[in-house]
Structure 1
Amino acid sequence: MEFADLIKTPKLDGVFLHDHTHATVEGTLCITGHHLLLSARQENSQELWLLHKNIDCVEKKPFVVQNIIIGGLITLKCKDLRIISLEIKFAKEYYNVAASLEALSALHNAEMEYPFFYRPMYAILEDGYTMFRPELEFAKLISVNNANNTNGIDNGGCEWRISNVNKDFSVCKSYGMTLIVPKSITDEQIVQSSMFRDGGRFPVLSYRHDNGATLMRSAQPISIQGIKRCRADEAILNVVLGRSKKGFIVDTWGKGKSNTETDQHYSQWKKVNRAIGNVSSPSAILDSFVKLIEACNDVNCSPDKWLSRLESSGWLTLVLNSLNAACVVAQCLDQEGSPVLVHGAKGFDSTLIVTSLVQIILNPDCRTVRGLQALIEREWIQAGHPFASRHRYSCYTPQQNRPKNSGATFTLFLDCIYQLYMQFPCSFEFSTQMLILLFEHSYFSQYGTFLCDSEKERFELRVNARTTSLWSYLNRPDVLKNLLNPLYEPNSNVIWPSVAPISLELWNELYLRWIVDQKHSSTAIAQIQDLVTLEKELRTKALKLRKHVTDLSNEILELMNVES
C-alpha cells in the first residue's frame, strides 16, 4: 500500500481553520503521507503543521441544505489535547479529506510511521541509542558509593552480574537482551523463574541504593493449576536478601486482583499492598484521563461543578496513590535498608511508575536531564512498556473504539514528576517543558525512541539504525538550553514529598494549555530567567571588585613597607 492510495485530495484551497484561539484562518490545505499542512493566506498567520499520528479522533459534521450536503466541518481531536476544525465548502472534497485523515491517522504498520522517513537537518552530536547502553547503566546501579552511606546499613551478601540469557528474547519477549541478575543465580534458574512469572518477567534489578538495599521489579506469579511454587524464583529472592532479616514485596495492582507469593515459601518477605487504583486493565487509567480532559475542556460549567468533575475523574487520586506507593518503597530502601520487589499484574504499568518514582525520590542523578532520560530508557523503554499499544489511542477516541490495552500510564508517571517538581522546584535540572515534550513524543514523533512495544520489536525493525533518537535531539546545546530549570541547585538529599491531597495541583501547563492563556506563565518564567542571569552577572562583577580591592590593598601595603 502506498500513501498516494490513501490521499484522495492532496491539495485544497479555500479551507477555513478554527483552532483553540477561536480565530478563523483561511488557507490552502495540503495532505502528505505523514502531515497535514495548512498555509494561511494572511500575513503573520501561523501555519498548521500536524502529524497524522497526532490525530486521535476525526469527527464529521456535514452541512446540509435542502437535504443536500454542500460541505462540512471536520473536527480533529489530537493526542496533544488540541481540538481544531477544518471547514470545507464542497461535499466531495469534504468526504475525501475526512476519509484520508481517518485512514492516515489509523495506520498500524510501524515501518510506515514518520520516524522511518525523517532525516534530521542537523549533525548528530551524540547517538541517543548508544548513550544509555544497559551495560553502562547497570554498572552505575551495582556500584555502591560508600562515601554516601550515612545510615550505616548494608544488606550485603549479594553480588550481581550481567546476563545475556535473553539475548534471543526466548526467555521473556518484553525484556531486553541484557539484564542484571544475582551473580550466584544460574541462567537455568532464571529460565525456571520466568516460567513462574506472568509473561516471563522474572525479578530483575531496578536500582541499588547507596546503603546497598536493592529495588527489583517483576510480574506477578502466574495462576496455573498445579503450580504453587518455584524454587528457582525463591532462590533469587533469598539471595537478594543477603544479611537482611526481611524484605518487602509491594503489590501495586490491588488486593484480591492479583496473585502473589505465598507466605510459606517466601517467609522472610513481607507482603505490602499499595494499589495505584481500582484498575482491572490499563484502559482504566485511560478512562480516568478521559474524564479529566473532559472536565478541563468544559470551560462553561460553574467552578463548583468543574471541581466536582475534576475530583470524580479520579486522576489526582491515581497521582496521589502512585506517590504514596513510591514513598513506602523508598522508605523501605532508605530507612529500613531492606530489599524490595515491586510487581503488579504483568509489570508493564503501575510497577514501572513506582520503581521510577522511587529512583527520582532517592537518587539525585535522576533529577538531572540525562538522569531522567536514562531512567526512562531503563525503566520504560528497555523494560518493555508497550508504548505502541498504550498510545495508539488517547483520551478523545470513544471507549468502544479503543482496545483494552490502551492506556495513559506514562502520562500518569509524568504528572507525578510534575508534582515532585512543584514541591521541590530547585531540585530538578530540567523544567516542566521537558516533561511536556516527553508527553508529546511518546504519542507522536519524528524520532524512533518510543516506537514499538518492546526491544524485540525494535530490534527486528532495526529502529536504532533506521531512525533518529529523541535523546540526540534533546541534548543538542541549542535545544537543551530551553529545557533547563533556571532555579536549579543540585540537591544530593532524598526528597520526601507530601502525599496529602491538598499538596497536589492540576498540571494546567499541559491539561489547560489550549484552553487557558499561558502567556502569564511564560512571562513569569522569562522574568525568572532574567533575574537568574542578572544575579550571575552581579556575582561575577562582585568577585572582580573584591579582587580589585584586594589588589589595591596589597599595593598600598607594599608602598607603606617601601616608605618605612
Structure 2
Amino acid sequence: MTGTPAKQKYTFTSYVNSSKGINGCEDAADLQSLKPKLLADELEVASAPVYMYPPTSKISDNNKHEAILGLLTVTNFKLSFMAFNPDEQQGAYQENLFLGKNDVTLNNIDVIYQVVDKKKKLLLVPEQKISSRIDALHIICKNFRLLKFSFKSTAKDQGKVIASALARFAYPSRHDLSFAFCYKEHYYNTVKSTVAMFTSQNDWAKELIRCGVEDWRVVTAESLQQNSGLPTHFVIPKCYDIEDFKEHYQSFCDSRSAFWVYGYAGAALVRMGELKPEIQDTTIENITLEIIRKCDPERKAPHIMNLSERLPSIQDIQRGYLKFRQICTPDSPRQFLMQETKYLTFLEKSGWLLYVSLCLSNASEAATQMRQSTSVVLQENNARDLCCVISSLTQIILDPFFRTIDGFQSLIQKEWVALEHPFLDRLGHVFSAESEKESPLLLLFLDCVWQLLQQFPEEFEYSQTYLTTIWDSAFLPIFDTFQFNTEYERFKATLDLKLVLRPVWDWSEQFADKDKVFFTNPFYQKRQEVLSRKSIAIPPNAIRLPGLQKPGSRMTFDPSLFSTQSTVPKDRFLEPRHNISHLEIWEQCYYRWIPILEIKSGGFPQIELFHRLLLNNIGKMQRALETRDFDDLPESGCWTSTTTTNSSSTSTAAAAAATTSSSSGGNQSDDNETVQLRTKSNNTTPTNSPTRLQGLPTITSFFPFSTYTGDSTQLTDILTNSNELIMEGSIMERLSIAQLPD
C-alpha cells in the first residue's frame, strides 16, 4: 500500500473521441450517442464504434452479417459493449445489476491479442508498443469468455485508442488501483446471520461446539503481542503452551503451524505448513504432531497427508488451466473443428480432469480416515493453497451442513478467507510479468464440488449455476471476499484507504430475486435437521400410501447415530467416485460462451426446469389442501404429456457445426462426429425421449447464461414459485404420496 493522495491515484487520460464514427455508416451520430450505464465513481476512459463477432466466427467481410454494430467503452471498472440495434424484446437470462450482458470487468480480462494485417496476432503487454493500425482485438477472460471486436470499418486509430486504454487499466500494477478502492457507494450488510464469517473468536467457538470438540481452543493473533503474520483467529490444542507455540510457529512456512479446522467422530482435521527450507532439524514438527496426538480421545497417531507430494504444484495447475482454457476458447471455425477431432487428446494433455480426480481422491481418503475416528493432518508448503481445496472437500463429503447454501458460504469464509488463501496472487488481480504465483485453485475446488453435485444431486441445496456465479464473482472487485491475500491487508485497506467492505454473499447486491432462484437445486431432498428456509411439512392426519417409501440407506436421518456432544450427523457422508472415467466436463462453466455447442431445447437446464415446474405445481396443490381453496390449482393441461421420438440435442449441435464448416469448406460428416465428442457425455435427451409436460418453456443447455427469447410470463412464474424445498417426509415428497381422509 502507498500513501499517495487519492486525487493522484485515480487520474486518467481520456481517449474518448465522439467525432469519429464508422466509415460509411449513416447512423454514426446515433451510435456515438450511446452511453454505457456507469456506477458511482466509475469513469469513462475510451470509446469507439466496433463490430462484435461471435467467439467462433471468423472476422471477415463474408461473415459481417454475423457481427453486431455497437459502441465499445472502457471505464476504470469494466469493458462494455452496447449494441446499436438491441433486440426489441430482451430475453430472460441471469442479469447482473452491475454488468450488462456484454460487459466484463477489467479484473476478468486475462489476455488481449492485437490482430494486425488481418491475420497477425500480437500479445498486448503493458508498457510495450501498441500497433498503430489494429484490425481487431481478441480478449480472453479468466471465466473462459472470448470477446472479438473488429475495427476494420472504423476510423484508423480507433483500435489503438481502445487497446491503449485496456493496456493501462486492465493490468493494474498496484492493488489500490483497483476499482474497489474508489467505489465509495454506501453499503448495508444484509447477509443472513446463519452464514458464519469467521471474523471473530465467537464464530470459531461455535464451530468447536457444533463439532463437539473439547481439546482445542481459539487464539487471537493480537494476543501474541508481536507481528506474527498469522490469521486473525485460529484454533490450536489446549495442551499447547502459548509460550511454546510462540517459539515454534515461526519455524513453519508463513508461520502456519498446526491449525484445527473441523472435527468429526472425535477426529480432528488439521492444516499444517512445512518447516522452512533452512530448518533441517524436524524436532519442532515432531513436537507439534505429538501435541495433536494428545488431543485425540484414544491417543491415536494422526494420519499425515503431505499434499506437496501427493498433488501437482500450483504452477502445474496453472499450466493445465491455460491448456484447458485454450480448448474452450477457439477463435475460428477452423480451430474449433481442428480441436474437436483431437478433443480427448487435448483434454488429456491439459491434465485438468486428472487434477480434479486427485483432489477428490485425497479428500475421500481424508474423510474415510475421519469416519474411522482417526485425525488427519493436511500438510503443505504454507498450508494456504491445496490445503484449502482438500480440507473444504473433506468437510463437504462428511457434513451435510456444508452442502447447503449458508453452510457452503461459511465453509469458504473459514477455509479460504479466514485462513488466508492468497486470492490476490492466485487470481492475478495485480499484473506481474512473472505469473508463477497465479493458479486457479478456487476454480479447481468449484469443479470438484460440481462433480459431487452431479453424483449426489439430492444432497446439495445449491445448483451448478450458483457455483458458476461464484467463479464469475471472483473477478468483481466491488466485493472484497476474493480480493486479498490476508486479513491484515483487508484491515489496512479499510483503515488507510477507506475501502468499503462488501461480502460477495450479499447476493441481493448483484441479482434480483428472479435471478437468485437459479442458485437453488430443485433436486435437493431437504432433511429434517436442515431448516434454513421455508419447507412444506406433512400434516398430522396424512397417511402414506404403502409400498412407495424408499428403503432405508446410509443417507437416512437417524437420531440414534448422533453424538451426544456433536450436532454433525454421522450417517450423511458421501462416497464419491473419483476415477477420471467417472468425471464429466462442467459444460455450463466452460462451454457457455461457445454458441456452436449450445443444445437448443435440451440439456440439463431443461430437465431442471421440468422439476421446477413440478415443485411449483406441488406447492400450489399443497396450499390448496391447507386452505381448501382450489381456485389456484394448476390447469389440467400442465399435466398433459407428449412424447417425442427424435433427439434434438446432439443433432442441433451437429447441425450448427455443419453450417459453420460449410462456410469454411469443412467436411460435414466429420463435423457431426466431432461435435458429438463434447455433447454425448451429457446428452440428456435419448433417441426415444421420455414424456414431457405440454407447454413447458423450452430453454437451452446454457440457460440462464444464454438468452430465453420466448414468452417469459410462464417461465417467470415457474422460477419464482418453485423455491419451496420439499422436506423429507412431506405430503408431496418425491418418493411418497400422502392421501388425506375425507
> TM-score normalised by the shorter chain: which range applies?
0.7 to 0.9
After superposition, residues 406-421 of structure 1 pair within 5 angstroms as: 406-421=438-453
Mapped partners of 1:408, 1:548: distance in 2? 51
1:486-511 C-alpha deviation (Å, 9 max, x unpaired):
11113551011012222100111111
Task: Report the equivalent of 2:337.
Answer: 300
| Separation in 1, partners of 2:580, 2:249 | 39
Q: Match for 1:183 among 206, 219, 238?
A: 238
C-alpha distance 507-105 of structure 1, shift in aligned 2 (>3 A): same
Is 2:219–2:235's contact at 8 Å kept on the other side of the alignment? yes
SS of match in other structure, 2:139: strand
CA change 1:283–1:200 in 2 (3 A) is: same
Note if contact 2:199-2:418 (Cα within 8 Å) is conserved in structure 1: no
* Stretch of structure 1 that moved more, 498-507 or 441-450: 441-450
SS in 1 for 2:295: helix
Within 5 Å, give how 1:47-446 maps onto structure 2: 48-63=102-117, 71-88=134-151, 89-118=154-183, 124-126=189-191, 131-143=197-209, 159-166=215-222, 170=226, 172-173=228-229, 175-209=230-264, 211-225=265-279, 227-230=281-284, 233-254=288-309, 275-277=310-312, 279=313, 282-298=314-330, 299-301=336-338, 303=340, 305-334=342-371, 336-392=372-428, 401-446=433-478
Q: Shift of residue 337 of structure 1?
A: 0.4
Question: CA-to-partner distance for each residue in 1:230-254, whole Å, 9 max, x for gaps?
Answer: 1752453233234233221111111
Q: In the alignment, what sits opposite 2:607?
A: 524
How far has the Cα of 1:381 moved from its partner? 1.0
Report the 3-state secondary structure (helix = DSSP H, G, I; strand = E; otherwise coil) of the residue aligned with 1:301: helix
Seen in structure 2, the aligned counterparts of structure 1 residues 145 and 16 have a Cα distance that, compared at 3 Å, is closer
**1:278-323 deviation per Cα after TM superposition (whole angstroms, max 9, x unaligned):** x3xx221010111112223352136551011111211111111101
The CA RMSD measured in Å over matched residues stands at 3.2
TM-score normalised by L of structure 1: 0.82
Q: Deviations over 1:80-133 (max 9, x none)?
A: 211112222233332221011011011133233223344669864238997443
Q: Distance in 2 between matches of 1:169 and 1:372?
A: 33
**How big is the shift at 1:451?**
1.3
Could you tell me how far 1:407 is from its partner in structure 2? Answer: 0.5
Aligned to 2:517: 481
Unpaired segments ≥5 residues, structure 2: 1-7, 17-44, 58-65, 89-99, 120-130, 331-335, 528-568, 629-730, 732-737
Contact 2:9 2:177 (C-alpha < 8 Å) held by counterparts: no
- 1:41 corresponds to which of 84, 107, 115: 84
Alpha carbons of structure 1 residues 358 and 130: separation in structure 2 relative to 1, 3 Å? closer
Aligned CA distance change for structure 1 residues 392 and 162 (closer, same or farther; 3 Å): same
| CA displacement at 1:195 relative to structure 2 | 2.1
Of residues 499, 504, 521, the one that matches 1:470 is 504
**What is the total number of aligned residue pairs between the two structures?**
509
Q: Sequence identity of aligned pairs in percent? A: 21
* Distance in 1 of aligned mates of 2:577 and 2:10: 51
What is the CA-CA distance between 1:370 and the residue it aligns to?
0.9
Per the alignment, in what secondary structure is the counterpart of residue 97 of structure 1? helix
**Secondary structure in 2 aligned to 1:163?**
strand
Instruction: Give the match's secondary structure for 1:525.
Output: helix
The residue identity in structure 2 corresponding to 1:237 is I
Residues 434, 217 of structure 1: CA spacing in aligned structure 2 closer, same or farther, 3 A cutoff?
same
How far residue 357 of structure 1 moved from its aligned partner, in angstroms, is 0.5
Change (3 A) 1:109 1:486: same
Specify the code of the residue in structure 1 equivalent to 2:591: L
Q: Is the 8 A contact 2:144 2:329 kept in 1?
A: no
Which letter does structure 2 place at the counterpart of 1:328?
Answer: E
Do the aligned partners of 2:293 and 2:302 also contact (CA within 8 Å) in 1?
no
Structure 1, unpaired ranges of 5+: 147-155, 255-274, 553-564
Q: TM-score, length-normalised on structure 2? A: 0.63
Q: Which runs of 4+ in 1 moved over 6 A?
A: 127-130, 543-549
CA contact (8 A) 1:29 1:38 kept: yes
Q: For residues 63 and 390 of structure 1, do their structure 2 counterparts lie closer, same or farther at Cα, with a shift above 3 Å needed?
A: same
